[in-house]
A and B are shown apart, each in its own frame.
Chain A
Amino acid sequence: MGVGRMSAMTLRMPRHFISDHPLPWLLPLIAILVVFALYPFFYNIWLSAHEFVPRRRALEFIGFGNWLKLFADPRMWNALWVTLFYTGICLAIEVFLGMVIALLIDSDDPGFGILRGLLTLTLVIPPAITGMMFLLMEDAQFGLIAAILSDIGLIAPQTAILAEPSLALWGVVLADVWQWTPFMVLIFVAGLRALPTDPYESAMIDGANGWQTFRRITLPMMGKVIAIAVLIRGIDLFRMFDYVFVMTSGGPGTATYTLSLYAWQQTFSFVKWGYGATISLFALFIVLLVANLFLSLTKVRW
């Protein structure tokens, strides 16, 4: 495009396009965030003050009724506990395994690039399909994982892992750990590669062993990287829905009900529109509170 035509275009453009003000640039983003994030948020608050009355086929105002119900609902507390337990266990396993594997494959030897590439594959599988994969593999009769676990004596033969109240959540944890440990590995490897080499040279001269070097040098310098990975993964774990929806639907009993699944089912399966909205709001407040606390404690900035 010639310079002449370009300046002609600039002249014809509205004044604010040439200006230094950020607003015109941000306007489309603000519009979509207001319509699709802020408006639903306030709509949700409005919804949580109402409940659908099937007899009158209408929403009726009930004030804080849903919130009082929420705090007195043992199933909600159970779902919150399951969600927190699941989040904590998965985070612990994924961070630990992620760090071990990252240290293992952080190497310039030939072949390690391919290994890192292969590890990215699990990240792009739709979680719902991962759930179906593990549903088949954990099947009591035809399941590969079930067969392996019973061969090594961890579970009794023909155990339906996902139908056993004490095992079901662990069956879901397994799918999560499989799919998301590579997330940690890749982030940690990138962090390890960016570390300066000087401290390691002095540690070697001082005769530090492998564990000391890791504990005193690697871990402190990786603090920020670990914090970011834990924050992002933690947010996603807390709102987990896909795996339990396809693998267990919250069962057996209430053993795998997460807050997200409970909220969704209250609204869409049991026509408790207002109550489902209230539970989802409760989950939202918890995430925002914990994430903010975490951000200010770890001083992670965007």
Chain B
Amino acid sequence: MLLSPWQRILRIGAAWAVVSAFVFPIVYWLTVAFKPDRDIFSVPPRVFGFQPTLQSFEEVFGISLGFEHGLEVLPGGGNFYMLPRLWDSIVVALFSTALAVVIATLAAYPLSRMRFRGQHHFVFWVLSTRMMPPVAVAIPMFFIYKNFGLLDTYTGVILIHALMNMPLAVLLLKSFFDDIPVEIDEAALIDGASRFKIFRKIVLPMAMGGIAATAVLCFIFSWTEFLFVLTLTQTSLKTVPVVSSTFVTSTGTAWGNMAALGAAAMVPAFVFILLVQKNLVRGLTLGSLKQ
């Protein structure tokens, strides 16, 4: 439809207004991370116009960022010292992503390239694991892990996050493999190449962009996951979303520290999501819609 210049300007204005409304809570949350308590608890609430402080970040990261005495490492061990928890999050997300992507890449190849009996049911089985409410996995898994000594271990959380991401990874990678013309495989087969060689030398390099996008999405879903970590860990590790829900002290909630940790958790995810813009919708719909 053709719009008059005025309608166009109106549309641009409306679009920016709507998007600002969605971005605003993030901006507000970031300001909370820089606010001293007295500005967080101002009545009526104010968004801007405060004395910025780095105290919340210093407590969370255990370093002093004061400009007067330069960067200085604090002893750590304070109530809100969260560097180890960020480390837990990174370890869990990295290893579960690696595991999920390797297994899913192997599985997606035959699902895209071969035809076998029960294939349809198999794909549906993979899809149905995406439908399971996590609580229906977390409850039995707690007791299973307890019996096998996997409770409260990196291995346990990494494995369950890999499982959680498996349907996404398999279905998404299958759709990326489907984009590569099957004639290439056929030509190579006629030339006597083995399936595994075709996979390694032809399909894998051509699907690298898709594999990277899949890995980024798996990382983000592991990074933001809550229920499994809440249920299957106790003291030896906790990821950022779970630990930030415990910032409630006897004197109230430590909003500044929580916002600082939240900011530290959001920023890497923001960077990652901007990297996969092109394939985001395909990822969100498990490979069923292409952009």
- Residues of A participating in the B interface, judged by any CB pair closer than 8 Å: 6, 10, 13, 17-20, 22, 25-26, 28-29, 32-33, 36-37, 39-41, 43-44, 47, 101, 104-105, 107, 109, 111-112, 115-129, 131-137, 141-144, 147, 178, 181-183, 186-187, 190-191, 193-194, 200, 204, 210, 213, 225, 228-229, 232, 235, 238-239, 241-242, 245-246, 259-260, 263-264, 267-268, 273, 276-277, 280-281, 283-284, 287-288, 291, 300, 302
**6 A-B contacts (beta carbon < 8 Å):** A115-B16, A135-B253, A136-B255, A260-B227, A283-B135, A302-B288
Question: Known interface pairs A37-B163, A128-B241. Does A239 touch B104 (Cβ–Cβ under 8 Å)?
Answer: no
Contact B286 A232 (CB under 8 A): yes
> In whole angstroms, what is the CA distance A235 to B195 when docked?
37
Contact B163 A33 (CB under 8 A): yes
> In whole angstroms, what is the CA distance A128 to B85 when docked?
15
- B7-15, B49-57, B63-71, B74-82 - interface stretch: B7-15
- CB-contact partner of A302 in B123, B129, B273, under 8 A: B123
* Closest A residue by C-beta to B147: A43
The interface residues of chain A lying within 8 Å CB-to-CB of B25 are 133-134, 137, 178
The interface residues of chain B lying within 8 Å CB-to-CB of A260 are 133-135, 227
Interface of B is mostly: helix
Contact B11 A104 (CB under 8 A): yes
> In whole angstroms, what is the CA distance A181 to B269 when docked?
18
B170 within 8 A of A: yes
The interface residues of chain B lying within 8 Å CB-to-CB of A120 are 273-274, 277, 280
Size of interface on B: residues with Cβ below 8 Å to A: 104
Contact B242 A123 (CB under 8 A): no
The interface residues of chain B lying within 8 Å CB-to-CB of A229 are 285
Question: Known interface pairs A17-B194, A105-B15, A147-B45. Does A284 touch B226 (Cβ–Cβ under 8 Å)?
Answer: no
Contact B43 A239 (CB under 8 A): no
Question: Known interface pairs A44-B140, A124-B266. Does A144 touch B226 (Cβ–Cβ under 8 Å)?
Answer: no
Question: Known interface pairs A37-B129, A115-B19, A126-B224. Does A32 touch B144 (Cβ–Cβ under 8 Å)?
Answer: no
Shortest Cβ distance from residue B223 to the other chain A in the assembled complex, whole angstroms: 7
- Residues of B participating in the A interface, judged by any CB pair closer than 8 Å: 1, 8, 11-12, 14-16, 18-19, 22-23, 25-26, 28-29, 32, 40-45, 47, 102-104, 106-107, 109-111, 114, 116, 122-144, 159-160, 162-163, 166, 170-171, 194-197, 201, 220, 223-227, 230-231, 240-242, 244-245, 247, 253, 255, 258, 262, 265-266, 269-270, 272-274, 277, 280-281, 284-291
The interface residues of chain A lying within 8 Å CB-to-CB of B45 are 142-144, 147
Interface of A is mostly: helix
- CB-contact partner of B285 in A39, A105, A137, A232, under 8 A: A232
> In whole angstroms, what is the CA distance A194 to B159 when docked?
37
> In whole angstroms, what is the CA distance A26 to B273 when docked?
29
Contact A28 B107 (CB under 8 A): yes
Question: Known interface pairs A186-B284, A302-B286. Does A133 touch B135 (Cβ–Cβ under 8 Å)?
Answer: no
Shortest Cβ distance from residue A259 to the other chain B in the assembled complex, whole angstroms: 8
Contact B15 A36 (CB under 8 A): no
Shortest Cβ distance from residue A255 to the other chain B in the assembled complex, whole angstroms: 20
Shortest Cβ distance from residue B40 to the other chain A in the assembled complex, whole angstroms: 7
